[in-house]
């Protein structure tokens, strides 16, 4: 299965079309509505709650955007929906809430956040929600095991891998060297069989995404485009951009 044409037909708003200066916070209903109004696809992140719900939020730990702190996974969906955010009166959505809000008007690009512990409950819940959703949607993750879970549990939806050239920076310090090595060079591709690759724009061009795009026919998205130089780069080496901080 190749990635559908709609995946690359329009720019993808990273965590929705958010703008904190206007009180529009990432991954919140206002950012989703702004992206719909602009006719952009929407990239969001999902995390697993304590009671197995798929919640729309990027960080594993609360506190950057919320008044509450602590691990998100330790709170139930009801508790998470009640959390107060620092810059908005809006509340955290579940994936079901997101699908109801979007209603198929624009494509959803859903990133499965992973603790790299081989727990597949989040993808299982994602599959349950999307089973009754008729709108265009794809799943992706940095974690090859979660992409494999998408292949096995959600075979009817296109899947992708989020990747970069190296995983030696501090963001990945919690992973073992073996885990970081397993993510390099898209070497898991024959097992996970992604239909698209979302690659760090500053790492383009690079051999693995070039091969994925030009040999295996994968669509290639560049993330996260914020500058004019990055926009020029992604136009040269990829099929579409995941962007934030401006309106294309």
CATH of span 5-243: 3.20.20.190
- For 81-87, which contacts have Cβ atoms below 8 Å and span 24 or more sequence positions? 85/25, 85/28, 87/20, 87/23, 87/25
User: pLDDT tens, 156-207?
Assistant: 999 999 999 999 999 999 999 999 999 999 999 999 999 999 999 999 999 9
Average pLDDT of the residues of the chain: 97
Q: How far apart are CA 200 and CA 224, in angstroms?
A: 7
pLDDT band (50, 70, 90) for residue 2: confident
Whole-number percent of the chain with pLDDT over 70: 100
SS3 224: strand
- pLDDT value at position 81? 98
Hunting for tokens 């926009």 — which residue is that?
Answer: 231
The pair of structure tokens assigned to 2 is 């190749």
DSSP symbol at 85: B
Match 């939020």 to its residue by tokens: 57
Q: Is the pTM of this model over 0.85?
A: yes
The two tokens of residue 195 are 């239909």
Please report the beta strands in the chain, taking only residues with DSSP state E, as ranges in sequence order. Answer: 12-14, 41-48, 54-56, 61-62, 70-71, 108-112, 137-141, 159-163, 196-200, 219-225, 240-243
Please, are residues 48 and 114 in contact by the beta-carbon 8 Å criterion? no
Q: Does residue 16 have a pLDDT over 80?
A: yes
Total Cβ atoms within 10 A of residue 198: 29
Residue ranges covered by each domain of the chain: 5-243
């Amino acid at each position: 299965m190749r990635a559908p044409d709609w995946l690359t037909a329009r720019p993808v708003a990273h965590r929705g079309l958010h703008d904190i200066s206007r009180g529009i916070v990432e991954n919140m209903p206002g950012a989703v509505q702004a992206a719909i109004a602009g006719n952009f696809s929407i990239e969001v992140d999902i995390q697993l709650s304590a009671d197995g719900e798929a919640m729309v939020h990027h960080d594993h730990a609360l506190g950057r955007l919320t008044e509450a702190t602590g691990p998100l996974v330790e709170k139930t969906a009801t508790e998470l929906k009640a959390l107060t955010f620092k810059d908005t009166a809006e509340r955290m959505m579940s994936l079901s809430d997101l699908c109801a809000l979007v209603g198929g008007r624009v494509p959803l690009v859903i990133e499965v956040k992973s603790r790299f512990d081989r727990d597949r409950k989040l993808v299982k819940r994602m599959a349950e929600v999307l089973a009754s959703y008729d709108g265009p949607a794809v799943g992706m993750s940095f974690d090859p095991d979660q992409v494999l879970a998408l292949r096995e549990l959600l075979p009817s939806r296109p899947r992708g891998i989020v990747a970069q050239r190296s995983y030696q920076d501090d963001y990945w310090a919690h992973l073992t060297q073996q885990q970081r090595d397993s993510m390099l060079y898209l070497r898991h591709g024959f097992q996970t069989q992604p239909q698209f690759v979302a690659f760090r724009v500053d790492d383009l061009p690079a051999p693995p995404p070039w091969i994925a795009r030009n040999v295996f026919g994968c669509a290639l998205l560049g993330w996260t485009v914020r500058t004019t130089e990055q926009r020029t780069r992604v136009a040269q080496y990829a099929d579409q951009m995941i962007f934030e901080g401006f309106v294309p």
